[in-house]
Structure 1
Amino acid sequence: MAPSFNDGDSLFNFVVKDGNGVKGLVDMGLTEVPGRYIQPPHHRINKQQVAGSLEKVTIDLSELDGPNHEQVVKSIVHASETLGFFQVVNHGVPLELLESLKVAAHEFFGQPAEKKAAYLKGVSPSPLVRYGTSFVPEIEKALEWKDYISMTFTNDADALDFWPNGCKEVALEYVKTSSQMVQRLLQALIGNLGVKLEDSRFQELTGFNMVNMNFYPPCPNPDLTVGVGRHSDAGMLTVLLQDGIGGLYVKQGENTSPDDQNEVWIEIPPTHGALVINVGDSLQILSNGRYKSAEHRVRTTDIESRVSVPIFNAPLPKAKIGPFPEVVTRDGVARYKEVVYEEYLKNYFEKSLDGKKSLDFASTV
C-alpha cells in the first residue's frame, strides 16, 4: 500500500526503514515533493548567489613528472589555499573505468528495493557496506533528495566478498587506481608546508578509504530541495567522479553564514574524463588552516537521474590530528587542538549538515 505522504512517520518508514529510498517515492509517480523534503529557504540553492562556474582550475597531473613540476605543485597549493576545490585530468584512472562506474551506479540503484535494503544498517552482511538515504535521516528536520551505497575499503578480499555484486569490481578498481594519485597530491601539499613525515605517520593520516555511489532521482520541485546540504568533508582529500548532468556547487570564501544573502557559490561543471578533488577538514586542521576544506552542496534537477562516485580518503580512526608543529612554529599560534579522528567523526555524524560547523570541535578560537 502506498504511504501517506502527509504522514511523516509513514513516509520515514517507507523511505528510510524499509529501504525504498527517494527512488521508491519517484517510482510511485510522485508529482510534488513531500513536506519532509522541503528545505528552509536559507538552505535552498539560490541561483542569484551562483557566480559562474569553475572552468579554469583544471590541473594536468601528467605534468607532475615533467619540467613543469613546480608550477603544477603551485597550482595544487593555490587551489587548496583558496577554494579548496580543483579538477584533475591525465590522473591515471582509466576513462573506460570512469564510464563503467556510472553504469554500475545506475544499475545498482535500478534494482528492486529489497535487493538494496539487504545492505541497510543493522541487516547488512558486513559493517563495510551500508545502503541508505539522506545524511542522518533520524535527526534531520529536512531530508536530502539522495540515496547512496557506501563501501569501506580494508583489503581486496573483503571488498570482493562483501561489496555488492555488479559494482564491487569497478569500485575496487577505482579505489586502487586513484590511490597513487591521492598519495602524490597529499605528498605535494604536505611537503609544501615544510613538513617531512615518516612513512608510518603518512599512512596513519591517509590510510582510510571509502567509496560511495550516490544517486539523485529527478525531483518534481527541485527549487525546494537539495541533493546534499551545505557541508565540508571530514577527511583529507575527496576524489569525485561526476556524470554529465552537473549540480555540484562550492562556496567562495569562508566568512559568511547560511542566511547571508551576499555569499557566493560557484558551480563545478562536469568535465569529461576529469576528477574533482576537494580538501577535507582533517587537512585544514593539519595545515593549521592554510588549506581550506571546501564547503559544498548539490542541487537536484527535474530532468533525469544523476549519479556521482566519491572516494573519501581520511586518517585511520585512532590517528591523532592536530596542526603540524612546523606550521604552528611558523604561524605563532595553533588554530586547532589535537583530536582523535574517530572522535571528530563521531561529532561530525551527530548533527545535520550545517556548513563547516564541524570544525568547531577542534577549533581553539
Structure 2
Amino acid sequence: MMMDCQAWPEPVIRVQALADSGLATIPKRFISQPPTTTAPFLRHHNASLSHELNIPVVDLGGDPEETVRLVGEACRNWGFFQVVNHGVRHDLMTSSRAVWREFFNQTAEEKEQFANSPATYEGYGSRLGVQKGAILDWSDYFFLHFMPASLRNKAKWPALPPSLREVVDEYGEEVVKLGGRIMKIMSRNLGLQEDYLLNAFGGEEGIGGCLRVNFYPKCPQPDLTLGISPHSDPGGLTILLPDDHVSGLQVRKDDRWISVKPLPNAFIINLGDQLQIVSNEIYKSVEHKVVVNSKSDRVSLAFFYNPKSDVVIEPAKELVTEERPPLYPPMTFDQYRAFIRTKGLNGKSQVQSLMNCDNN
C-alpha cells in the first residue's frame, strides 16, 4: 500500500527561522540518533575525521587520455572527485551562489509563496521523507526541475531577486553540458561506446536534471545534528557547487569520514546509485553527509544529472560476464525514486537492498 505523499506528516519547521530566533538549544527533532552499528567511527558525527586526505582532483583541460584514467580511478576508489578547468565561467558560479543566498535572505512571506509538498518536492522545503516523527536535518532547501525542458516551469522559480531566473537558466544549461562531458569520459573508462551512459539514461532529450539549493543556517549545537544525514545520492551524477567560504561536506572512505576541502572555482562530482547499477558495481556511489557549524551559515548548489524517469536502469550487458553476473534487477528511476521518498535518507541501505532481489 503506497503512502499518501500529498502532505507532510507534521507541520514543517523552517530551520532558518529557528536559527534566527536566537535559541540556545536545538529542538529534539533535530538531534540525530546514534546509528545502529558497532563501528566506532560512526558513533559521533565528527569522530575519526581525517584532515590529511582529500578527494581526487581532475583537470578537465589536460591530456584527454590522462583525464579518462584519472576519472576512472576516482570513480573506482572514491566515488567523489573535484574538477577544475571545467568550462563553466567563474563569474557565473559566483553569481549563482549569490542569487540563492539573496533568496534565502528574503522574508518568510516571500519564501512561503514557493513552499513545496512531498508530491514533487519542487519548491521551498525543509525536510525529506514522509515518515511521521522522523529526525530532521538542520537545513532548508529549494528544489526545482530543469531537464527535460518540458518540466522546466519558471513560474515555480523564485521571482526575487529579479536576476535569479535568468542566472539559474544559464547555470543549468552549462552544468548539463558539463554532466554530459563527464558521462562520456566515464563511458570511455568503462570500455563502452562514448555515448553509452548518456543513451542508457535516456539520451540528450531524455536526461533528467534537477537543482537542489541547500541552505545550512548556523547552529547553536552543531555536534548534535547534521545539515544532511548520511546517504548516497539515488540518481546518476551529482555536480556540486560548494560554498566558497565555509566547508561542511564529509565523505565516507575506508571507515573514516573525510572532510572535503573545496578548491576555488571547482565543482565536486559524485556518483549516484544509478551509475553503480549501470556499471554493475565497477563504480560505486559513496555515503556522504553534511555537518553544520555555530559561526556561519552556508549555501551550496547540487545539480542532479539523472536518468529519464521511466527508462529502465540495469547493468550494462557489456559489463556482465559469467564471473560477474548482473548484480541488480531492472528498475526504472521513478520506481527507485519513489522508494527513496518514502524511506528518506538512510546511508546506502536502499541500493544495497536491491542486491537481495531476484535478478532473473
TM bucket normalised to smaller: 0.7 to 0.9
Is 1:108 the equivalent of 2:103?
yes
TM-score by length of 1: 0.85
TM-score by length of 2: 0.86
Is 1:226 the equivalent of 2:237?
no
2:202 matched residue in structure 1: 204
Deviant stretches of 4+, over 4 Å: 197-200
Q: How does 1:64-213 map to 2 (within 5 A)?
A: 68-121=63-116, 129-136=122-129, 138-139=131-132, 141-153=134-146, 154-155=148-149, 158-165=152-159, 166=161, 167-196=164-193, 197=195, 201-202=199-200, 204=202, 207-213=207-213
Is 1:315 the equivalent of 2:316?
no
> CA shift at 1:46, angstroms?
3.4
> CA shift at 1:168, angstroms?
2.0
Paired residue type of 1:337: P
1:335 matched residue in structure 2: 327
Check whether the contact 1:195–1:324 (CA below 8 A) recurs between aligned residues: no
> CA shift at 1:203, angstroms?
5.2
2:298 matched residue in structure 1: 306
1:252 matched residue in structure 2: 253
SS for the counterpart of 1:344 is helix
Check whether the contact 1:159–1:168 (CA below 8 A) recurs between aligned residues: no
Check whether the contact 2:183–2:198 (CA below 8 A) recurs between aligned residues: no
SS for the counterpart of 2:257 is strand
166-175 or 294-303: bigger deviation: 166-175
> CA shift at 1:136, angstroms?
2.1
Q: What whole-Å deviation, never above 9, does each CA across 1:18-59 have from its counterpart, x for those lacking one?
A: xx6101111222111111111113367533321125446111
> CA shift at 1:317, angstroms?
0.7
Q: How does 1:235-250 map to 2 (within 5 A)?
A: 235-243=235-243, 244-250=245-251
Paired residue type of 2:180: Q
> Which 5+ residue runs of structure 2 have no aligned equivalent?
1-9, 36-41
In structure 2, the CA distance between the partners of 1:40 and 1:194, relative to structure 1 (3 Å rule), is same
CA distance, structure 2, for counterparts of residue 79 and residue 275 of structure 1: 14
In structure 2, the CA distance between the partners of 1:80 and 1:331, relative to structure 1 (3 Å rule), is farther
> CA shift at 1:334, angstroms?
1.1
Q: Percent identity?
A: 33
Paired residue type of 2:232: S
> CA shift at 1:169, angstroms?
1.9
CA distance, structure 1, for counterparts of residue 118 and residue 75 of structure 2: 39
Paired residue type of 2:273: D
Q: How does 1:248-327 map to 2 (within 5 A)?
A: 248-253=249-254, 263-327=255-319
> CA shift at 1:134, angstroms?
2.6
Alpha-carbon RMSD across the aligned residues, in angstroms, is 2.5
CA distance, structure 2, for counterparts of residue 110 and residue 52 of structure 1: 32
Check whether the contact 2:54–2:258 (CA below 8 A) recurs between aligned residues: no
CA distance, structure 2, for counterparts of residue 158 and residue 236 of structure 1: 19
In structure 2, the CA distance between the partners of 1:25 and 1:49, relative to structure 1 (3 Å rule), is same
CA distance, structure 1, for counterparts of residue 125 and residue 43 of structure 2: 22
In structure 2, the CA distance between the partners of 1:60 and 1:343, relative to structure 1 (3 Å rule), is same
